[in-house]
């Protein structure tokens, strides 16, 4: 089956086409540029991360920790900068 046959709708011999992904928590798809969309994206990221195993899971954990450490350092650096202005 070609990908455009699967996306465009039902095929002749494989039953109805696949419905778009709808997150169960919201019951619908959210605009990715809204707060609900961001929460839905975070939930999907967490679900994908929990299914990983082996070296891919380790690599994903390292990336997440690096992001958290970077955000923490930025907050600390910003707080120090604010305190030094007084």
pLDDT digits (tens, 9 = 90+) for 33-84: 888 888 888 888 888 888 889 999 999 999 999 999 999 999 999 999 999 9
Q: Which residues, in sequence order, are CB contacts of 29 under 8 Å at separation 6+?
A: 20, 21, 22, 23, 40
Query: In the predicted model, what is the mean pLDDT of residues 12-20?
Result: 57
Number of H helices, E strands in the chain: 3, 0
| Three-class SS state of 27 | coil
């Amino acid at each position: 089956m070609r990908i455009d046959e699967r996306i465009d709708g039902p095929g002749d011999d494989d039953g109805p086409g696949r419905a778009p992904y709808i997150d169960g928590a919201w019951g619908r798809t959210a605009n990715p540029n809204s707060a609900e969309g961001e929460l839905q994206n975070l939930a999907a990221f967490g679900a994908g991360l929990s299914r990983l195993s082996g070296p891919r899971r380790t690599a994903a954990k390292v990336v997440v920790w690096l992001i958290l450490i970077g955000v923490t350092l930025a907050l600390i650096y910003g707080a120090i900068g604010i305190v030094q202005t007084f």
